[in-house]
Amino acid sequence: MQETASHPEALLEVRGLRVAYGGIQAVKGIDFTVGKGELVSLIGSNGAGKTTTMKAITAMLPVSGGEVLYRGKSIGGLGAWDLVREGLAMVPEGRGVFARMTIVENLQMGAYIRDDKAGIAADIERIFATFPRLKERRAQLAGTMSGGEQQMLAMGRALMSQPQLLLLDEPSMGLSPIMVDKIFEVIAQVAAQGTTVLLVEQNASRALQIADRAYVMESGLISMQGAAADMLSDPKVRAAYLGE
């Protein structure tokens, strides 16, 4: 795959993306990039179009205009299944664990594109080292776990595919403060280990604390972009999204 000349380091490029459903233009022509090795966050209020954008990137919603490039190549027309093989993994809002499977079975499902049994077993142990609670309950059915434990499992399952790009949609939603701390700690750790991350998060303060760069979405458009540290201290961002 050739890299684009405009962003030679861009792993993901979204160009003029438009998404409409139910007669509503939910995403109105947005552009953003995620560079290789970056942790980029999309922040904005509920209904801004963040989740719709993520679903469009991962072929869960049809695109009505624009294009999505991954490693310089358009991924329009590829299914969600194909994208995992290409190195994109998504942790959806609401987690979506396999409720009637055990924790270990869920993690094994995350590695369905792989056939290296020893590597899969080693990666499961790495996930357990990151999330000791999952190890303790490895034989438990996923549907009987708390929301925070399910979020850990959903992240672990996505990492089992050894993604180059990990997309996280509202990972802290509905979790206790202690669990939110753990989830953000792991996101930062995953990024530090070299996985590129695109994070959609309503908890703007926490997202900006760990991101390299950020984009603000409002009513289906990108209204601001810049270094996350700059946004964290920007009075407009603080007033609108950080409750100050």
Residue 142 sits in a domain of what CATH number?
Answer: 3.40.50.300
Asked if the structure places residue 3 within a domain, the reply is no
Q: Buried (b) or exposed (e) across 200-219, using 16+ Cβ within 10 A?
A: bbbbbebbbebbbbbbbbee
Asked if the structure places residue 18 within a domain, the reply is no
pTM, two decimal places: 0.92
In this prediction, residue 244 has a pLDDT band, given cuts at 50, 70 and 90, of low
Asked if the structure places residue 59 within a domain, the reply is no
Retrieve residue 168's tokens.
């996280």
Q: Is the pLDDT of residue 242 over 90?
A: no
Mean pLDDT of 36-59: 94
Which pLDDT does position 185 carry in this prediction? 94
What is the domain count for the chain?
A: 1
Asked if the structure places residue 30 within a domain, the reply is no
For the chain, what is the mean pLDDT? 91
Across 68-82, 200-214, 230-244, which has the greatest mean pLDDT?
Answer: 200-214
Write out the residue range of the structural domain in which residue 191 sits: 36-48+78-241
Beta bridge partner(s), residue 169: 200
Asked if the structure places residue 211 within a domain, the reply is yes
